[in-house]
Amino acid sequence: MNQRSDRYPLPMRLLHWMRATLILALIALGWAMTALPDSIAAKFEWMYPVHKEFGVLAFMTGAIALFVRHRSGVPPHPGGLARWETTLSTIVQYAMLALAMVVPLMGYGMSSSFSQSDGVPFFGLELPELLPKNDHAFAIFAWAHKTLAYTLLVLIALHVLGALKHRFLDRGRDADVLARML
Ligand code: HEM
Ligand code: HEM
């Protein structure tokens, strides 16, 4: 079994679950809102603005998490993991850390460059749109935002399956990574 000292520090655990909730909710909302016809008032009245402001919040939470991670470091892998498991989980974690920052940046780039954008709200504030209006750039940002968001979802699925495998299939070896994050 893992010792308590193998757990991630409390700030990292809190930030991890905040981000997990935010990101999964943003993917669900993004998927749902884009599937709706434009005639549904809720689509542009609150779904797009809420997606944007919580998306910016996810970016900020991600930046804080990277800072905390850099300061506190990550506990060493439990001894019962095979080499391929530690390599794969490290690659997936780095890819998620990167995509969790790049996806909201692409979203901001999309909203900021779109000539008919309603702006980027942030809980009562209106964030500046720093990019020049350019619908060609918008199309590229939109493509990148969508493709990378669903790539992130695939990685999250792999990540969760890995955690479940270690908890339920690897009983008896020192491999329960989930306990480190709870
Ligand atoms: C981690 C943060 C974010 C995630 C995971 C995320 C995820 C998604 C997903 C899955 C979609 C649906 C794509 C589709 O099926 O067409 C979407 C759409 C969208 N997102 Fe995000 N998003 C994030 C942050 C942001 C931010 C920060 C903004 C803007 C400031 C933004 C603006 C948009 C817009 C405008 C759409 C609709 C695109 C369209 O109408 O085709 N997103 N997002
Ligand atoms: C509900 C779904 C999730 C579960 C069950 C889960 C579970 C876990 C577990 C058990 C660990 C510890 C792994 C270890 O000790 O090696 C971990 C670490 C990690 N998770 Fe998740 N996770 C989830 C969602 C996410 C999401 C959405 C992200 C996207 C940003 C994410 C990013 C990370 C990262 C980057 C680490 C490594 C620790 C760090 O560097 O902060 N997880 N996760």
pLDDT, position 173: 87
Task: Assess whether the C-beta atom of 97 lies below 6 angstroms from ligand 2.
Answer: yes
SS3 29: helix
Q: Is 31 in the pocket of ligand 1 (CB under 6 A)?
A: yes
Number of domains in the chain: 1
Task: Write down the pLDDT at residue 172.
Answer: 84
Give the distance (Å) from ligand 1 centre to CA of residue 14: 24
75-128 pLDDT tens trace = 999 999 999 999 999 999 999 999 999 999 999 999 999 999 999 999 999 999
* DSSP for residue 116: T
Dihedrals phi, psi of 119, to nearest 5 degrees: 90, 180
The residue type of 153 is L
Domain assignment of residue 8, given as a range: 4-181
Nearest to 58 by CA among 90, 29, 32: 29
Tell which phi-psi region holds residue 179, choosing left (phi > 0), alpha (psi between -120 and 50) or beta: alpha
The answer to whether 138 touches 106, Cβ cutoff 8 Å, is no
* CATH number of the domain residue 165 falls in: 1.20.950
* C-alpha torsion 136→54→21→72, nearest 10: 90
**pTM of model > 0.75:** yes
Nearest CA to ligand 1 atom 12: 30
Q: Which pair of tokens denotes residue 23?
A: 């990101």
Tokens read off for 108: 């901001």
- Per the document, the length of the chain is 182
SS3 state of residue 124: coil
Q: Any residues with CB less than 8 A from the CB of 102 and at least 6 apart, and which?
A: 144, 148
CA distance 16 to 163: 14
Which pLDDT score is estimated for 5?
A: 57
Amino acid at 156: I
Q: Which residues in the chain come in under a pLDDT of 70?
A: 1-5
Instruction: State the closest ligand 2 atom to the C-alpha of 97, by its place in the atom list counted from 1.
Output: 35
